[in-house]
Amino acid sequence: MATPAVRFKPRPPDRGSFPIDHNGVCKNFMNEYMECLSNNNYDNSKCREQSKVYLQCRMENQLMEKENWKRLGYADLVNTESGDT
């Protein structure tokens, strides 16, 4: 059996770990997003609002770092009146 010419070198994620929501703080938002995906044949472009709400919950509960919506790909969903960044 030949050895592969190029060896895969695992590396950590660019943005660090993504902590598990052990207490289920954002579980309802996650379920809404998953239901949207299921109802839309897993086309995530049709569920962007739900994914944004889920990520907002994670940021507010320190389950991920706060990040600018534009950097996360939600520039078109930013509501300047509510102060979203």
Identify whether the C-beta of residue 12 lies closer than 8 Å to the C-beta of residue 18.
no
User: pLDDT at residue 80 above 90?
Assistant: no
Domain assignment of residue 44, given as a range: 27-67
Count of CB atoms within 10 A of residue 1's CB?
Answer: 2
Domain count, the chain: 1
Residue 49 lies in a domain: yes
pLDDT digits (tens, 9 = 90+) for 31-74: 999 999 999 999 999 999 999 999 999 999 988 889 999 999 99
In the numeric block, which tokens belong to residue 45?
Answer: 């472009």
Residue 77 lies in a domain: no
Indicate the pLDDT class of residue 15, thresholds 50, 70 and 90.
low
Residue 5 lies in a domain: no
* Cα separation, 60 vs 63, whole angstroms: 8
* Cα separation, 33 vs 10, whole angstroms: 30
H-helix or E-strand spanning residue 38: helix 27-39
Residue 4 lies in a domain: no
